[in-house]
């Protein structure tokens, strides 16, 4: 299987790219939704990003509409919503399938290579995958885990 930095992803502009630009950073990948009970976690995700981006940390948001259609808008509307309502400045990618027949290569990689819950499908919006600087998945957090609870894990990886 490829390493995470070689997997093709789509930016919110429609451009196809890889995660290579984030190589050497600690990465938190999150499947987001703008009409979910967990949507306020965007505030905490943005705070983590602001607090640690200068140290080599990045949050990557991948909007998903697979859980009760909680992100039905266009990617332009989703990006604007996140920016206006939650001050999001971390990268938001194109809508992504995180499970099922159309599951993206990125989420196939994440699900199949995570230590905890390995091989188990993404449970809901705001499931989080923490990746170290070498591209290895070091932890997977269920949606209910608030972003603030990840601080210790993130700072340990940034050292």
Active-site residues, by number, are 36
Q: What are phi and psi of 89, to 5 degrees?
A: -125, -5
Binned at pLDDT 50, 70 and 90, residue 122 comes out as very high
Which pair of tokens denotes residue 34?
């703008």
Q: Report the candidate in 89, 60, 57 with the shortest Cα–Cα distance to residue 154.
A: 57
Ordered structural domains, the chain, with CATH? 4-158 (3.40.30.10)
What's the whole-number mean pLDDT along residues 112-128? 88
pLDDT at 119: 66
| pLDDT surpassing 80 at residue 117 | no
136's CB contacts (< 8 A; 6+ apart) are: none
Segment 59-99, tens digit of pLDDT:
999 999 999 999 999 999 999 999 999 999 999 999 999 99
| pLDDT surpassing 80 at residue 118 | no
pLDDT at 120: 82
The whole-angstrom separation of Cα 155 and Cα 129 is 15
The whole-angstrom separation of Cα 36 and Cα 32 is 9
| pLDDT surpassing 80 at residue 2 | no
What's the whole-number mean pLDDT along residues 6-14? 95
| pLDDT surpassing 80 at residue 54 | yes
pLDDT at 115: 81
Q: Is 115 exposed, middle or buried (0-12, 13-18, 19+ CB in 10 A)?
A: exposed
Q: What is the mean pLDDT of the chain?
A: 95
What's the whole-number mean pLDDT along residues 2-29? 95
The answer to whether 68 and 33 have CB atoms below 8 angstroms apart is no
Binned at pLDDT 50, 70 and 90, residue 155 comes out as very high
pLDDT at 85: 97
């Amino acid at each position: 299987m490829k390493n995470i930095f070689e997997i093709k992803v789509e930016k919110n502009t429609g451009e196809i790219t890889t995660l290579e630009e984030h190589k050497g950073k600690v990465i938190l990948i999150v499947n987001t939704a703008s009409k979910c009970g967990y949507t306020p976690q965007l505030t905490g995700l943005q705070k983590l990003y602001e607090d640690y981006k200068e140290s080599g940390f990045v949050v990557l948001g991948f909007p998903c509409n697979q859980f009760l259609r909680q992100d039905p808008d266009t990617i332009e509307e989703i990006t604007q919503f996140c920016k206006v309502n939650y001050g999001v400045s971390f990268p938001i990618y194109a809508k992504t399938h995180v499970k099922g027949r159309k599951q993206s290569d990125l989420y196939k990689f994440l699900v199949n290579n995570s230590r905890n819950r390995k091989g188990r499908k993404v449970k809901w919006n705001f499931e989080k995958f923490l990746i170290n600087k070498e591209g290895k998945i070091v932890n997977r957090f269920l949606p209910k885990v608030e972003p603030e609870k990840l601080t210790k894990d993130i700072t340990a990886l940034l050292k």
